Amino acid sequence: MAIKTIGKHCKGCGVCVTFCPKQVLGLDALGKITVVDETKCITCKQCEMRCPDYAIFVEKK
C-alpha cells in the first residue's frame, strides 16, 4: 500500500494516530502527521476516514 500525507493540510489534531490500530502513524517535531512504519499498515483507512483535514490518503498498491 501507499500512504500519502499532505503536511500543508495537517493541523496536527492526532485523530489518525489515535485510531490507527497498528501504530503506523505519529506526529513529527512540528506536530504534523508522519508515517512511522508503513509496513504495519493494514489499509483499514480509519485514518483517512476520520482525518478532518484531508491530510492522509491510503491506497492499495
Partner 1 sequence: MEKLIEKYYRPRLPHIWCPGCGNGIVTSSIIKAIDKLGLDQDKTVIVSGIGCSSRASGYLNFDTVHSLHGRALPVATGIKLADPELNVIVITGDGDGTAIGGNHFIHTARRNINLTVILFNNNIYGMTGGQYSPLTPTDSKATTAPYGTLERAFDIAELAKAAGATYVARGTAFHANMLVDVIAKGISHDGFSLIEAVTQCPIYFGRQNKKGDASAMLKTQRDNAVTVEAAKKLSPEQLEGKFKIGVLHQSEAPEYTKQYQAIIDRAQKGAK
* Complex with partner 1: residue 7 or 37, whichever CB lies closer: 7
Task: Report yes or no: 53 and 10 within 8 Å, Cβ to Cβ.
Answer: yes
The binder of partner 1 chosen from 28, 36, 44, 53 (CB under 8 A): 53
Q: How far apart are CA 8 and CA 45, in angstroms?
A: 20
The binder of partner 1 chosen from 1, 3, 8, 44 (CB under 8 A): 8
Positions in the binding site for partner 1 (CB under 8 A): 4, 8-9, 11-15, 17-19, 48-54, 57, 59
